[in-house]
Amino acid sequence: LRGTALALTGRVDEAARDFTAAIEINPKDDDALKRRGQAYAAIGRNREALNDLSACLALNPDFEAYHQRGLVYHNLRNFRRGVADFQHAVELDDAKPATWNLLGVCQNSTGDCAKAVESYKRASQLDPKFKEAWVNQGQSYRDRGMGLEANACFSKAISVHPSYPYAYYVRGLLKHGMGNYREAIEDFTKV
């Protein structure tokens, strides 16, 4: 518990040492492996994080470990493995909008825009105010040449979070690209 408390107070290096001590006592402590993996990921020690999270998953395949390992793969730009881990995570718990959104990000990054849109839709169904899911869905539509659908998603992100500058920015880019320069200027002005 001390390791978790240390991590939550930003003392991640100390937390990793505490989790290491727990693992030395019990090398099959899946929770300590998972927590140390999370700590390593937080301080950019991604290879070590992958090792610990993989060892945890070999002992106990749980949602949180798949989600965290998916994040590490995403940060390493290994989007195919990220897709696999986020897919496992949503199979274990399909009610987490952030996981659906990250699954969509990785799917989009592998070129599977259609599946990405479905993942973003699921994220925004679970949390209709999830502005990032709306923007990501809009970007996937934009990438597929579906300007009206993209505009609707960007506008939805703005309606649920009117002070979200990035939504104005991407909507402005879309409008500029469509030749709607006056509307683009309005959006860029709000950024």
The pLDDT of residue 191? 93
Mean pLDDT confidence for 106-126 = 96
SS3 content of the chain, % helix, strand, coil (to 5): 80, 0, 20
Q: What is the pTM of this model?
A: 0.91
The pLDDT of residue 100? 98
Does the pLDDT of residue 1 top 80, yes or no? Answer: no
Q: Is 95 helix (H, G, I), strand (E, B) or coil?
A: coil
Q: Is 106 helix (H, G, I), strand (E, B) or coil?
A: helix
Mean pLDDT confidence for 125-148 = 96
The pLDDT of residue 7? 82
User: What's the burial of 32, exposed, middle or buried (CB within 10 Å: 0-12/13-18/19+)?
Assistant: buried
Amino acid at 67: H
Mean pLDDT confidence for 160-185 = 97
Does the pLDDT of residue 155 top 90, yes or no? Answer: yes
The pLDDT of residue 162? 97
Mean pLDDT confidence for 83-92 = 98
Query: Which of 5-14, 79-88, 128-137 has the weakest average pLDDT?
Result: 5-14
The pLDDT of residue 4? 81
The pLDDT of residue 51? 97
Kindly calculate the radius of gyration of the chain based on its CA atoms and give it in whole angstroms: 19
